[in-house]
Structure 1
């Protein structure tokens, strides 16, 4: 009987989707270098996946066209005590299968997100408990005062308790272990678009949700999301008119596309810093010719790697100017950025060689570096440049470049010695970098993406205080101190802030978000 109910719900959902897509409907054809690795919104904290699934699922609090906080599944929120937040939930909202949205779904999604397999634990880490006041009111208790809680929720999407239980998807898809479930390939959100057809790593088709509770500013009825990994092929598809919009634009093609009479290019700074991480926890690296010890535990080695990398050269030759070298793990647009700490250590191969010799590696050593080739702008080429830089100081890099579909599960299991990662502060606040990236790995998503396990007790202590401090001056002073400690430790190696480059037909109007989200309900095709 349960199986029949599932089939009936799926058929009803498909019928509703097809009813909304008829004659004269507007189709938007999107292309990206990679795919959303899953339709499960709690399975991977990766911007593209959150961008795609954010058109199907919704958070309690969202970002508007100006990137300001705005109501979504919550109509309002307020602090009723230093550690208590009350959220009024939107009434009359239905999931795509017709099930009403209630407080039970919020509590279920909280338990699911903080549980085993979730990659978004840091999004709910400060929440100690959620209480149901009634079907449309919940209260959240935080472990300590946490004034930016609403900002943290913009990528925490709410799932249907009933649907997950019916479809054996109570736990998130676990990318680290290769475990899949129904939420990998099917979706049941409250958002403006529903999934019609899923072909992983090829294309996914979405249609407008005819029962959507909110306003859809754009006129798109169907979105076909295409995966075109080859840069030249993706550009050719745009020029020929096979697709309507693409991102990222290969940096070498930006100027050419700007001059095309039927196309336009949108550019802007992204809130993402690309950086390198090193295993600083194991007593012996998993992938190195150094046995019996871990070179990365020595600050001199970490600094030697830092000073061997020519970020200006990478900007000039690899990024074609479309990057801004960073000394901090957050860009200038994020609260807490410290201008006086913005100067990088100098590129100095001779100083690098000297540091390696002092650390006991006068001939350098060998280590494997893990990188994706379809996640960040020119990611594979950046890693090749880094490897070439390090070779000049005697470090042999065994470079493993692969699709993000295999890359992310590997590094999230921490099966890596040296890796590339990019991070966007979704809260536009330094805490969203300090807590998941720079803090020691621990409970509640703390240090969840600190994959090399950098650890400094003082940074942990400051991060805890920063979370609850309401005096902005004191808070920024503590942020400054934590960033300075991390810099002095060379906890990670920041490379640059990458630029956003989207290209589209001139008849397509789109809002380019600084976190690289593409919100389809804002798109108009003229």
Structure 2
């Protein structure tokens, strides 16, 4: 465990808590941001830290509504339905004092479309980004794209001159282990500027005194001290003792202790995120099973058996302490395309055993399950529960857990043998099913499928997925989404588990609504 290796665990437990000043907020969560490069990783905690430093053109507020950020207005061009026009905020400067202009937007979006960017699927329909004026940007797409603004909420804008001066024009190759200047340094337009960064240990931010939105937000937090604390008990102990003021992921087993503690409170809300297992259905032979020369996961009956063997209600009650919503589809209810019919769950161990027999695997098989231990609520415990459930149908699961920094490259760096069976969670910042399809269902190529480690490939379905970006008839578009979901559900390359629930723990002087994206933006925090 990286945090323990620093010696901070003992320090947090043994030291006497010294309250922070009213303006300093000490923040902790299970895992750190993977990188500060704003386009290298499409991952929740990474975006959350970067949201304090960098800004996109548009944002979602706590109600899920698109609101202005670096763009003050956006509309489809009257002259060309394929062009979105963004009017930019004037008078904005980067942390080093450089002026923010349309050139920075063009540079940043072009950078985000390059091969090593984990954000490129969101811009896959873009034909050209151009500066129409100093404070006006045009994004031209291959055909009309009705949801383009929704694709930009985590698309951070960099200073072109800063990137060029610091050899940061290219996106960090995170999966390849590359380290770059932009991975540990930052220069954004956000409410907070980077003071220091020691990955997996501590990051310090201070308020940007020249922030354009200083009179629009509370801005009560002037300094942020961010400490990743992987161990749940240590994380809660830090909050209870006063070592930290705010934790994003209160362990479900400690909700009562925190909510009943004097001076603390817990804020709870459904999260726009679903947790599920992925299966390598595309390989001819798996690397981690005991079946030579074939892939048992390529058999649909085996996949259906595994799906029926997972007892989601038991996971909800025993592992999640009722802090989850059992799921039958890998889309949370926030998302356009989700339906109650898709989200039905079923557990039938007898039927699962019969399917294993019919598939020719009555004697079962063994396989490795790759699981993170510092990313999702009780992620390792969820995987441990699944080990026992799958054993009931003859599948021996060898569990391999590791920090997310080592786990995610198994998925995003997939070439056929990195992972056969894995846990992952997926949030949907666009609130639209196309985001799920682009990343998780479309065949992996240069523009799509960067998180599709299943090896699943269906060219006909790919074409339908790509068509969603330019379909302006919403009724026809929603019908296409429903048809894609029908195929995904039938193929069962993913085993949905549950929709995650947010539990933020904090001192009771903090006033902030819970963000369903699990992305607190500290400029909005009011300290009473």
Confirm or deny a common fold (TM above 0.5).
Answer: yes
Q: Which residue of 2 aligns with 1:401?
A: 401
Q: CA deviation at 1:208?
A: 0.3
What residue is the counterpart of 2:428 in the other structure? 425
**SS state at 1:54 partner:** helix
Q: 1:42 aligns with which of 39, 42, 45?
A: 39
The answer as to whether partners of 1:25 and 1:222 remain within 8 angstroms in 2 is no
Is residue 462–residue 478 contact of structure 1 (8 Å, CA) maintained in 2?
A: yes
Residue in structure 2 matched with residue 3 of structure 1 by the alignment: none
Preserved CA contact (<8 Å) 1:74 1:90:
yes
Q: Which runs of 4+ in 1 moved over 4 A?
A: none
Match of 2:70 among 70, 73, 78: 73
Can you list the C-alpha shifts for 1:90-109, whole angstroms capped at 9, x where unaligned? 22211111111122211211
Report the Cα offset of residue 412 of structure 1.
Answer: 1.5
Q: TM-score, normalised by structure 1?
A: 0.93
The superposition leaves residues 255-305 of structure 1 with CA deviations (integer Å, 9 ceiling, x where unpaired) of 222222311110000010101111122211122222212222211111111
CA distance in 2, matches of 1:386, 1:71: 43
Decide whether the 8 Å contact of 2:115 with 2:446 is kept in 1: no
Match of 2:499 in 1: 497
**Contact (CA 8 Å) 2:27, 2:224: kept in 1 or not?**
yes
Q: Secondary structure at the match of 1:341?
A: coil
Following the alignment from structure 1 to structure 2, what is the Cα–Cα distance between the partners of residues 176 and 489? 28
Q: What is the CA RMSD across the aligned residues, in angstroms?
A: 1.5
Q: 3-state SS of the aligned residue for 1:274?
A: strand
Distance 1:409 1:82 in 2: 38
Q: CA deviation at 1:472?
A: 2.5
Is this contact kept in 1: 2:454–2:493, CA < 8 A?
no
Distance, in Å, in 2 between the alignment partners of 1:503 and 1:400 is: 29
Whether 1:447 aligns to 2:449 is: yes
Unmatched 5+ stretches in structure 2? 1-19
Q: Residue 168 of structure 1 corresponds to which residue in structure 2?
A: 167
Contact 2:369/2:422 (8 A) holds in 1: yes
TM-score, structure 2 length as denominator?
A: 0.92
1:56 aligns with 2:53: yes
| 1:212-241 Cα deviation digits (max 9, x unpaired) | 112332311001011111111111111111
Name the stretch that deviates more: 184-193 or 66-75: 66-75
Give the CA deviation at 1:25: 6.6
2:75 aligns to what SS in structure 1?
A: strand
Match of 1:356 in 2: 356
**Which moves more between the two structures, 233-242 or 149-158?**
233-242
Q: Distance in 1 between matches of 2:296 and 2:21?
A: 63
Mapped contact 1:56–1:192 kept (Cα < 8 A): yes
Counterpart for residue 118 of structure 2: 119
The residue number in structure 2 matching 1:87 is: 86
Counterpart contact for 1:192–1:216, Cα < 8 Å: no
Contact 1:146 1:468 in 2 (8 A): yes
Once residues 352 and 174 of structure 1 are traced to their aligned partners in structure 2, the CA distance between those partners, rounded to angstroms, is 42
- Looking at structure 1, the residues matched to 23 and 453 of structure 2 have their Cα atoms a distance apart, in angstroms, of 43
Distance 1:65 1:356, change over 3 A: closer
Match of residue 13 from structure 2 = none
What is the CA-CA distance between 1:461 and the residue it aligns to?
3.2
Greater displacement, 209-218 / 171-180:
209-218
2:145 aligns to what? 146
| Paired position in structure 2 for 1:336 | 337
Offset at 1:342?
2.2
CA–CA separation in structure 1 for the residues paired with 2:114 and 2:87:
25
Tell me, yes or no, if structure 1 residue 294 matches structure 2 residue 295: yes
Q: Which residue of structure 2 lines up, in the alignment, with residue 19 of structure 1? A: none
Determine the C-alpha separation between the residues in 2 that align with 1:128 and 1:282.
34
Deviations 1:340-374 (A, max 9, x none): 22212x21222222222222212111111111000
Please name the residue that 1:224 is paired with: 225
2:9 maps to none
Task: Please name the residue that 1:327 is paired with.
Answer: 328
C-alpha separation in 2, matches of 1:329 and 1:495:
8
SS at match of 2:46: helix
Distance between the aligned counterparts of 1:436 and 1:74, measured in 2?
26
Query: What's the offset of the Cα at 1:432?
Result: 1.4
8 Å Cα contact 2:86-2:138 kept in structure 1: yes
C-alpha contact (below 8 Å) 2:187/2:193 kept by paired residues:
yes
Residue matched to 1:27: 24
Tell me the SS of whatever aligns to 2:369: strand
Q: Structure 1 residue 521: deviation in Å?
A: 0.3
The CA distance in 2 between the partners of 1:524 and 1:234, in whole Å, is 23
Instruction: Show the counterpart of 1:252.
Output: 253
Contact 1:441/1:450 (<8 A) preserved: yes
1:241 aligns with 2:242: yes
8 Å CA contact retained: 1:511, 1:522: no
**How far apart, in 1, do the equivalents of 2:193 and 2:261 lie?**
33
Q: Name 1:475's counterpart in structure 2.
A: 477
The equivalent of 1:197 in structure 2 is: 196
In structure 2, the CA distance between the partners of 1:151 and 1:42, relative to structure 1 (3 Å rule), is same
Structure 1 regions of 5+ residues with no counterpart?
1-22
Between the two proteins, the alignment pairs up a number of residues equal to: 502
